[in-house]
Amino acid sequence: MRLILFCVGRSKAGAEKELALRYIERANASGRAIGFAGVELRELDESRARRPNDRKADEAKAILGALPPGAELIALDEGGKLLPSREFASHLGKRRDQGAPALALVIGGADGLGADVRAAASLTLSFGPMTFPHQLVKIIAAEQIYRAMTILAGHPYHRD
């Protein structure tokens, strides 16, 4: 199963980008041994529309258009479900075992995710009720994907 981390907005060079990529590289290395085809970071351009609802609609169209066929969508949103790391790992493992071709985690733009993306999501997750900068959410998501790989592999990275 492929994992794709979709992010609206492009990363600038620097420590944040490097850290997110480091976790993705680690997840790729750990995931191959346990049946994951790879983890990919895809950055989509932010909409230039003037109104927030128009921007969210444009970005939703780009996200949904970029999804591979049969991909399950997980939306990352501050109003989503709080899920412990072990349960997130279990969700990924179950989807892998069920033969899902791909799973996409989506981070919206500055105005959030459009209604079409939220409606298409099988799961909406939150990293907490606080609002975080997109660069930090990207790092947290990449780290949680890596953590999930280590949990599924029985690696001691995650400690209870």
132 is in an annotated binding site: yes
Backbone angles phi, psi at 42, to 5 degrees: -125, 120
Residue pair 22/140 in contact by the 8 Å Cβ criterion: no
Is 129 labelled as part of a ligand binding site?
yes
* Residue 128 is assigned to a ligand binding site: yes
Would the annotation count 108 as a binding residue?
yes
Tokens 């950055």 appear where? 43
What DSSP letter does each residue of 26-39 carry, written as one string?
Answer: HHHHHHHTTT--EE
Q: Is 10 helix (H, G, I), strand (E, B) or coil?
A: coil
Do 47 and 59 form a contact (C-beta atoms < 8 A)?
yes
Nearest to 104 by CA among 44, 157, 30: 44
76 is known to lie in a ligand binding site: yes
- Binding residue per annotation — 131? yes
Residue 117 contacts residue 104 (beta carbons within 8 Å): no
Residues forming the annotated binding site for S-adenosyl-L-methionine? Answer: 76, 108, 127-132
Residues forming the annotated binding site? Answer: 76, 108, 127-132
